[in-house]
Amino acid sequence: AEELADGRRQLQFGHAKGTQSKGRNFSSAPLYATFSANGLNQIAVAFQQHARKWIVPNTKLPRPVHYNCWEAVYFDHDINELKDIASRAAALGAERFVLDDGWFGKRDDDTSSLGDWQIDPRKYPDGLTPLVAHVRSLDMEFGLWFEPEMVNANSDLFRKHPDWILGPADQPRGRQQLVLDIRKKEVEDHLYNGISEILGANEISYVKWDHNRVLPIADAAQTDAVYRLFDRLCEAFPQVEFESCASGGGRIDFGILRRTQRVWLSDSNDAIERQKIQHNAALFLPASITGSHVGPHRCHTSGRTLDIRLRAWTAAQRHMGFELDPRELTEEEAGILAETTNWWKDNRDWMMNADILRLDTSDPAEIAELHRSASRDRFVVFSALLSPSDQIVPHPLRLTGLDADVRYCVSLKNRADVAVLSRGDCALKTVDLTLSGQYLMQHGLNLPWRFPESMWVVEGQRL
């Protein structure tokens, strides 16, 4: 989409030139377009509903609360520690445990073993079975990390098959790794057999499928081969849900979403960065497929320290999960996280089918959105103040997408978080309100004053 200097505007679309080999017939990828005379929300809702209804296959409902061990242990896998972490995660409300990178080959860092999809006997002398059994005994699903399309030069696979690399041999390395040429049938079969052996021998219901570098060449046949590999695995293991995690957000489109049920928007679990990332991703993606995790107290990517309340409510806006070390939580933090998780479980059935609507705010430090149920009988508003506000008194937050003539009961879910400095006469601090949709959309909600890096959660119920 482009506007030229003389005012002309143009749209161009089609397949990338030079990616198709000569002499073959093909159809370009479908183009999905929509139009709105009523701002971005009508566009967002159209894409969210289309993805839920027509694109993403067999999404498991209810969506299970996710736990990923990556930022708790990284490559340092000790089965007794992992069992302890799994037990603590379950106590907080997790329903799925995902074992991330580091379980295979001789994988102690990111320089080796990609392509060697055999369980590391040093870390798991009895295989994954004891850990899977422990996780299942906690009534949690078990998930596993793979990066099938990649290989390290320091791997048994590369030493045996250096000719399986996509692109020239002297290409620059990306993140210490090379790309496998899955266009070759023997490479596709090798990956299918290796992954199938792991999935078939263990009670695994989830695969986090990563892809951590750009391709050295553009060739549509590589994409076609990846789709074939996905399709073969989906057919052989219909109980397995797949997540598309590409460099923390690099491969999210309707082509891959026809084969996967969850996406990972970013490797940053900083709640402030997440607010911006997931808010804008909602122009295209529904909550049901958008993973969002409660990160560590001090974020590993930004170094920022954020309160557990903001981290937990940020994750509760999408498909909720944790990616922290539960052993580091204080008793108060564990209680807050468990309470927020229980709230999400109580509301996930309608929230995972809700329309996510952006709310216009007069304060640039605020990001706010409204999740409206499919039946339009309830909603929840998340209003995050990401930095200090220039407004001494908060302006009313005008809602959208409600029925003007309907009356709603409106309550502040996290009323206990009102700061002692919030002395203004704001009714929501103490009571629930009955207000018309017209009032909520035209005048708006008066929210209590709050400190930056905090969240208000407002629930609405149609009367």
In this structure, are residues 165 and 180 in contact, taking their beta carbons and an 8 Å threshold? yes
Enumerate residue ranges in the chain where pLDDT < 50. none
Give residues with Cβ within 8 angstroms of 238, minimum separation 6.
Answer: 58
Please say if 210 is a catalytic residue.
yes
What pLDDT score does 28 carry? Answer: 86
Q: Who contacts 402 (Cβ-Cβ below 8 Å, separation ≥6)?
A: 372, 376, 379, 408, 437, 440, 441, 460
Q: Quickly tell me which residue has 């994988």 as its tokens.
A: 107
Taking the C-alpha atoms of residue 30 and residue 148, their distance in angstroms, rounded to an integer, is: 26
Which phi and psi (to 5°) does residue 146 adopt? Answer: -135, 155
Residues 380 and 371: their CA atoms lie apart, in Å, by 5
Judge contact between 255 and 52, C-beta under 8 A: no
- Catalytic position from the list 267, 307, 325, 363: 267
Q: CATH 3.20.20.70 occupies which residues in the chain? A: 53-353
- What is each CA distance from 99 to 69, 132, 163, in whole angstroms? 6, 10, 31
Q: What is the pLDDT of residue 210?
A: 97
Which distant-in-sequence residues (6+ apart) come within 8 Å of 179 by Cβ? Answer: 149, 150, 151, 165, 166, 167, 213, 215, 216, 222
How many Å is the Cα radius of gyration of the chain?
Answer: 24
Helix (H, G, I), strand (E, B) or coil at 424: coil
CA atoms 360, 349, 352, 138: torsion sign = positive
pLDDT tens-digit readout, 275-290? 999 999 999 999 999 9
Q: Scanning the structure block, which residue is given the tokens 């791997």?
A: 155
Q: Cα separation of 283 and 213, whole Å?
A: 25
What CATH code would you report for 53-353? 3.20.20.70
Asked if the 357-462 domain carries CATH number 2.60.40.1180, the reply is: yes
What pLDDT was estimated at residue 422?
Answer: 83
The predicted structure's pLDDT at residue 424: 82
Which residue in 120, 181, 210, 219 is the catalytic one? 210
Element (H, E) at 98: strand 96-99
State pLDDT tens for residues 66-115.
Answer: 999 999 999 999 999 999 999 999 999 999 999 999 999 999 999 999 99
Pairing of strands 206-210, 241-245: parallel
Which H/E stretch holds residue 129? helix 129-137
Please give the sequence-ordered ranges of beta strands (E in DSSP) within 217-365, or none if there are none. Answer: 241-245, 262-264, 290-294, 319-322, 355-359
Q: What separation, in Å, do the N-terminal and C-terminal C-alpha atoms of the chain show? A: 44
CA angle 87, 92, 98 (to 5 degrees): 60
